[in-house]
């Protein structure tokens, strides 16, 4: 018995694959069309998926829909989160937001700007590190450009401490963590230290936009 897998939005039906033997078999061409439609409805008609980013987007889609066989071929571990890196303006945040729409039948992650977390820490203190360290699935968006946290005169590398806290529960207890960043591995180590960088290797799949990916905001 086979049926269509579709998402209905704004009076439109988007067929993204077929359900066979209780498993969704996705049509990745249809997924890309849906993501572009969704991006245009959210960000405006100028939103497009650039062909130069095709490999990056394909890997992210395979991971998001949890296609185990494909992810194995691509070297992606579904037990780990996503470390999404790329140049400024390449579309990391927009894409990580849009991908959640592919899986309305599953609990997904919140996308939280790293700077907002630091601002909350500056107001509420170390409770914020505990809260995010123990939170459900999250994407820490745009890490590396947030200011240093400061509470009662004491500096704190807030995002680094949250990552360590989440690692200490990793796996199988901790819900997945994802991050987006403009930084490369060496810059991550300089910003957060070798302790955080070494833990990241065990927590994340690295997916990167090409270095010559266009600035979509221009």
Q: Domain boundaries in the chain?
A: 79-208
Cα separation, 196 vs 187, in Å, equals 12
Q: What phi and psi values does residue 155 have, to the nearest 5 degrees?
A: -75, 150
Q: What is the pLDDT of residues 105-123, one digit of tens each?
A: 888 999 999 999 999 999 9
Instruction: State the Cα–Cα distance between residues 200 and 196, nearest whole angstrom.
Output: 6
The answer to whether the beta carbons of residues 99 and 64 sit under 8 Å apart is yes
* pLDDT value at residue 2: 83
Q: Band of the pLDDT at 210, cuts 50, 70, 90?
A: confident
What is the rounded CA–CA span in Å between residue 63 and residue 95?
13
Terminal alpha carbon distance of the chain: 48
* Percent helix / strand / coil, the chain, rounded to 5: 45, 25, 35
Alpha-carbon gap, residue 143 to 84, rounded angstroms: 10
Q: What is the value of pTM for the model shown?
A: 0.91
Question: Can you tell me the distance from the alpha carbon of 144 to that of 188, in angstroms, rounded to the nearest whole number?
Answer: 7
Q: What is the CATH topology of the domain spanning 79-208?
A: Rossmann fold (3.40.50)
């Amino acid at each position: 018995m086979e049926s269509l897998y579709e998402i209905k939005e704004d009076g439109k039906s988007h067929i993204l694959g077929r359900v066979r033997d209780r498993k969704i078999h996705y049509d990745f061409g249809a997924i890309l069309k849906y993501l572009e439609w969704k991006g245009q409805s959210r960000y405006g008609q100028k939103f497009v998926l650039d062909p130069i980013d095709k490999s990056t987007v394909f890997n992210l889609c395979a991971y998001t829909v949890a296609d185990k066989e494909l992810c194995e071929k691509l070297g992606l571990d579904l037990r780990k989160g996503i470390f999404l890196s790329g140049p400024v303006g390449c579309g990391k945040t927009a894409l990580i937001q849009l991908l959640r729409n592919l899986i309305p039948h599953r609990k997904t992650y919140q996308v939280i700007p790293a700077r907002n977390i630091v601002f909350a820490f500056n107001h509420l203190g170390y409770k914020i590190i505990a809260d995010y360290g123990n939170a459900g699935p999250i994407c820490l968006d745009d890490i590396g450009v947030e200011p240093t946290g400061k509470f009662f005169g004491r500096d704190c590398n807030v995002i680094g401490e949250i990552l360590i806290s989440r690692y200490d529960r990793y796996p199988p207890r901790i819900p997945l963590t994802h991050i987006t960043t403009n930084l490369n591995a060496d810059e991550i180590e300089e910003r957060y230290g070798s302790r955080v960088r070494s833990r990241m290797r065990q927590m994340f799949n690295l997916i990167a936009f090409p270095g010559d990916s266009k600035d979509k905001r221009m």
